[in-house]
Amino acid sequence: MEVKSDTPHSYNDGELVIDLGNVEEKPVKRGIQRVLATAGVVGLTVTIAPVSYADPVDDSDIEAAHGKQEQTANSVASIELELANLSAKSNELELAAAKQKAAQIDAQSALLQSIDQAVVAQTKANQAKAELDKARQAMGSVAQAMYQDSAGQLTNAHYLFGAEDMASAASRNKAFESLASTADNNVRHYKALEEIATTLQKKADSIADKQSKAAEAADTAANDAELAAKAAQDQISQANNRRAELVVELASQRGTTVELERERLAQLEAARVAKAQAAANLVIAEANNKSGKKAAAQASAALAQANTDAQAKEAAAKSAVASAEQLAREAANADPELKALKEKAARDAAAYAEQKKREAESAAAAATAVAQAEKEARQRAEAQRAAAERAAAEKAAQEAANQRAREEAARIAAQKRAEEEAAAAAAAATAAAAAAAAAQRPSAPPSDGSTGSSLINYARRFSGVPYVWGGSTPSGWDCSGFVSFVFRHFGYSIPHSSARIFATYGAYEVSPSQARPGDILYWPGHVGIYTGRGMHIAAHDPSRGTSEAPIWGRPVYLRVL
């Protein structure tokens, strides 16, 4: 209770005016209020009503005062302990949420790596199958028959039919021996390629199965991260509600105002949040840094392989061209008996050389695209490394600031009791935080009736766009972001989530034999757009970006158009 008076110390008309520094109300004894003034303590002027003569203070009064003081101290300590426990629990759950988010980042990184491995494995299997098809064509019906029936079973007369003289017969005999040897080599080569193609396809199927498991792990990690974040938010909300209740009780026990206690606790909570956020940021930044390093290494390996493939294709093209030119010269100078065979061989070699030149050009273009993806992956990895370093520095700075704050709090505590009344008069009003308005998602434009073919042509325009997890624009997107962007251009609202795409359009599944360009391909954790002839276009992973690649594994075909 505070009553101010400018009346000097005097006894006048039944009023006793006393200068007091600290006034503590004592328990009422026999209806009389005692006022205990300590000599030499000044500061607060109190006017007291007419006084009756009171009994002297005895030991029971002192013990009662000490008991109340001790009870108040215990109550304050209990409240402070509960507040500390609330903060500790919030810190624990926020850090757990950050660790779950880091686990989600790791799982997503593993998923992207598995997708890249699946594409690489299926590409190798397709290449082996293509070589097998060429070997099958190269054998020819005559060479096949000679191999199966054994060339030794044919009589010499068979070689000599149609010969006009001995020289012609010898020439025909030599030609047939060469043909038999070629047929035998072709069949051996075919069987070797058949075994290689079978082995590589089995490996591709196995990697595709692993990709499915990686997708399940990524989904589980995402769900765990979401649950952990919700648990942390619920805990913070409960802590804030309980803290609001304790403010009133704490102010009453300490003899301060609710506003002062609320401000003090708000400052403590702000410090706690800053420290917890710095710790969480570091955990997530380190996970991003690890993922970035892995993606950069993966991109570097992809670039090395692409360069190797391009060099091999270029060398094969040069060799094929040289061989075709050599066969053309031989055909021009061949004996009449062999001229037709030599000319056909020269034509076949020329066609083969043209094919190899086209393959070399395609490989060179692919290497250029992979080089760009590798450069962007390195840049992202460097940015993530720098972010991790900043997060570590911020955490260290936050810890240092907290230490300084604790030291400053200890210094202020020594003089706080003398300053409480002045602080109460000068307390600032709490500022209201403005909520940011949520950005509205733009509505999809109406469909222009484009066919699947035009959709594919539009999608191919974005080849080379980098893969950015969570992105949905041509500056960078993930697999579902790319599919959603392409279909939105034609008036279709596709969810930005592979799982939600399957949940929405799963009823429109078609068999692979019924697939047509423009259908959506769904794998667990990945989607793309079917472009025809066993190919699809998708935002694969950081090392490949947006590109066209063979279909791998056993995707589900969804008919949206």
SS3 of 21-53: the string is: CCCCCCCCECCECCCCCCCCCCCEEEEECCCCC
**The pLDDT value given to residue 495:** 96
**The pLDDT value given to residue 166:** 55
Dihedral angle of Cα 381, 385, 387, 393, to the nearest 10 degrees: 180
Domain extent listing, the chain: 73-151+165-256, 295-428, 462-558
Give the CATH number of domain 462-558; options: 3.90.1720.10, 3.30.43.10, 3.40.50.720, 1.20.120.530. 3.90.1720.10
Residues 265 and 498: their CA atoms lie apart, in Å, by 45
Provide the residue count of the chain.
Answer: 561
Architecture of domain 73-151+165-256: Orthogonal Bundle (1.10)
Task: List the chain residues with pLDDT less than 70.
Answer: 1-76, 138-184, 186, 420, 424, 427-450
Residues 167 and 42: their CA atoms lie apart, in Å, by 140
pLDDT tens digits for range 113-161: 888 888 888 888 898 888 888 778 766 644 544 444 444 444 444 444 4
Residues 557 and 174: their CA atoms lie apart, in Å, by 55
**The pLDDT value given to residue 273:** 86
Task: List Cα–Cα distances, 525 to 101, 388, 416, 545, in angstroms.
Answer: 17, 27, 59, 16
Tally Cβ neighbours within 10 Å of residue 242.
Answer: 14
Residues 429 and 257: their CA atoms lie apart, in Å, by 13
Residues 120 and 208: their CA atoms lie apart, in Å, by 11
**The pLDDT value given to residue 11:** 37
Q: Concatenate the DSSP letters of all residues of 78-119 into one string.
A: HHHHHHHHHHHHHHHHHHHHHHHHHHHHHHHHHHHHHHHHHH
Residue with tokens 């199966």: 148
Residues 458 and 490: their CA atoms lie apart, in Å, by 10
Residue with tokens 């299997």: 125
Output the pTM of the full model.
Answer: 0.54
- The SS3 call for residue 67 is helix
CB-count exposure of residue 512 (10 Å: 0-12, 13-18, 19+)? middle
**The pLDDT value given to residue 127:** 85
